[in-house]
Amino acid sequence: MKINEIASKINSNFDKQEMIDFLFSLIQTETVNPPGDEYLLHDTIMKCMKEIGAEVQIISKDEKRPNYIGKIGNGSPSVAIMSHMDVVPPGEGWTQHPFQPYEKDGKIYGRGALDNKGSLAASWAGIKALIKSGLKFKGTIYFCAVSDEEMGSHFGVEYIVEKGFKPDYAIVPDSGSIDRAVIGEKGAVWFDLESFGKQSHGSTPELGINAIIKVSKLISDFEKFDFNLKYDSRFTPPTVNVGMISGGNAPNIVASRCKVTLDVRYPVGISENMILKRMSEEIDILKKKDKDIDIRIGEVTTRHYPHIIEQNSKLLDAFKKTAEEIGMPMEFETSSGITVAKILNLNGIPAIAHSPDSDKAWHISDEYVKIENLEKCAVLWASVIYQLVK
């Protein structure tokens, strides 16, 4: 059977209203992280698992932070589709209550409508349509609802992988956009630059050495900083963000210390050690120009390694062919962001990230998702899964 025929069968069994009802129930349940409290969705998730005939395993590091893995079928290969239940705080500026979802002009509004409860509802509806279609398959499908994505996944995907969950492939509906799928993500390293000076009275700054001014000579050029390193051409260049600065004791004292926290995003082909070495070289150049500069690199506080899917991946091939056959324009790109796809890929599980987003509505007030995009993604994801497990 051709791919477009498979997608047509899935689409003809797709129930849009069921998907919307499920999404409404998800949004109405407040799972703001922190603290998350994803357990509040237990009855909702279990009801939907039952409707797709899934055998459910719950893996929890904390009883209030469950991860639901619904297994359908047996055998190899196995494919997981994985969305998270937690959401960011609503913040300010909402025109209606963030946890009272509503539909308007073909969109569903509410915190989590796009990130990531819309994708959770769409992936469930797509799998249900696949099962109803009667299409037979030999492998295993995992429908997963996980916790703690917004705060690092320590209670979520990181934990379930640690406990042995290892499908052959995964789809992560949480990055990219309706016409762009993410096949690789930059790495990230956070570390401090510590600048040391000499304290003196604010009225006589010439008697001191201002640690803030000295480190500013280094960070002032970071917007256009060139690491001058070779890397995988499918990525954009490495970037530096000055995220935090702290220093000094009072306005009338020359600051003897200053700490700057950096977030460096870097592509495949570059390592954390190369980043730190390059930064150290830049500090040495400044020291030769100014003997009073004393800047030291502190310890790495956060690290995420870069990844990219191999070009001959069966998952990538299935995604490309399916999107093409069903008439969904799709580009495959890399990202500077970090999703659970990174955790999976770095643990040997090829994962592609994709999203129903078309307007970058993540984390904004009046967050929304287009219903039409949810429908398209539901059929796409289910069709890709079927291509892998048939």
Domains assigned to the chain: 3-185+306-389 (3.40.630.10), 187-304 (3.30.70.360)
Tell me the pTM.
Answer: 0.92
Exposure letters 268-301 (e unless 16+ CB within 10 A, then b): bbbebebbeebbeebbeeeeeeeeebbbeeeeee
- CA angle 290/295/298 to nearest 5° reads 165
240, 282 Cβ separation under 8 angstroms: no
93, 101 Cβ separation under 8 angstroms: no
What pLDDT, on the 0 to 100 scale, is given for residue 310?
87
Instruction: Answer yes or no: is pLDDT of 311 > 90.
Output: no
Tens of pLDDT, residues 43-84: 999 999 999 999 999 999 999 999 999 999 999 999 999 999
Q: Tell me the average pLDDT across 265-279.
A: 97
Tens of pLDDT, residues 162-206: 999 999 999 999 999 999 999 999 999 999 999 999 999 999 999
Tell me the C-alpha distance between 166 and 172, whole Å: 14
Q: What is the DSSP secondary structure assignment for residue 358, as one 8-state letter?
A: S
Nearest CA to 378 among 1, 2, 17? 17
pLDDT band at 40; cut points 50, 70, 90: very high
Q: Tell me the average pLDDT across 207-229.
A: 94
Tens of pLDDT, residues 357-370: 999 999 999 999 99
Q: Tell me the average pLDDT across 346-352.
A: 97
What pLDDT, on the 0 to 100 scale, is given for residue 221?
87
Q: Tell me the average pLDDT across 329-343.
A: 96
Q: Tell me the average pLDDT across 91-96.
A: 96
What pLDDT, on the 0 to 100 scale, is given for residue 148?
98
Q: Tell me the average pLDDT across 78-107.
A: 98
Nearest CA to 365 among 90, 88, 117? 90
The neighbouring-strand residues paired with 146 are 84
Instruction: Answer yes or no: is pLDDT of 312 > 90.
Output: no
Q: Tell me the average pLDDT across 22-44.
A: 98
Tell me the C-alpha distance between 87 and 177, whole Å: 18
Query: Could you give phi then psi for residue 197, rounded to 5 degrees?
Result: -135, -145
- The Cα-based distances of 343 to 161, 162, 379 in angstroms read 8, 10, 26
Percent of the chain with pLDDT over 70: 100
What pLDDT, on the 0 to 100 scale, is given for residue 158?
97
Average pLDDT over the chain, rounded to whole?
97
pLDDT band at 116; cut points 50, 70, 90: very high
Burial of 230 (0-12, 13-18, 19+ CB in 10 A): exposed
What pLDDT, on the 0 to 100 scale, is given for residue 333?
97
Q: Tell me the average pLDDT across 378-384.
A: 98
Tell me the C-alpha distance between 247 and 212, whole Å: 7
What pLDDT, on the 0 to 100 scale, is given for residue 104?
97
pLDDT band at 147; cut points 50, 70, 90: very high
pLDDT band at 245; cut points 50, 70, 90: very high
- The Cα-based distances of 58 to 41, 62, 73, 278 in angstroms read 13, 11, 17, 45
What pLDDT, on the 0 to 100 scale, is given for residue 224?
86
19, 124 Cβ separation under 8 angstroms: yes
Q: Tell me the average pLDDT across 138-161.
A: 97
Tell me the C-alpha distance between 187 and 191, whole Å: 13
**Token pair 């069966």 is at which residue?**
314
237 preceded by a cis bond (ω within 30 of 0): no
How many C-beta neighbours within 10 Å does residue 88 have? Answer: 15
Instruction: Tell how strand 169-172 and strand 107-109 pair up.
Output: unpaired
Q: Is 272 helix (H, G, I), strand (E, B) or coil?
A: helix
The neighbouring-strand residues paired with 261 are 192, 244
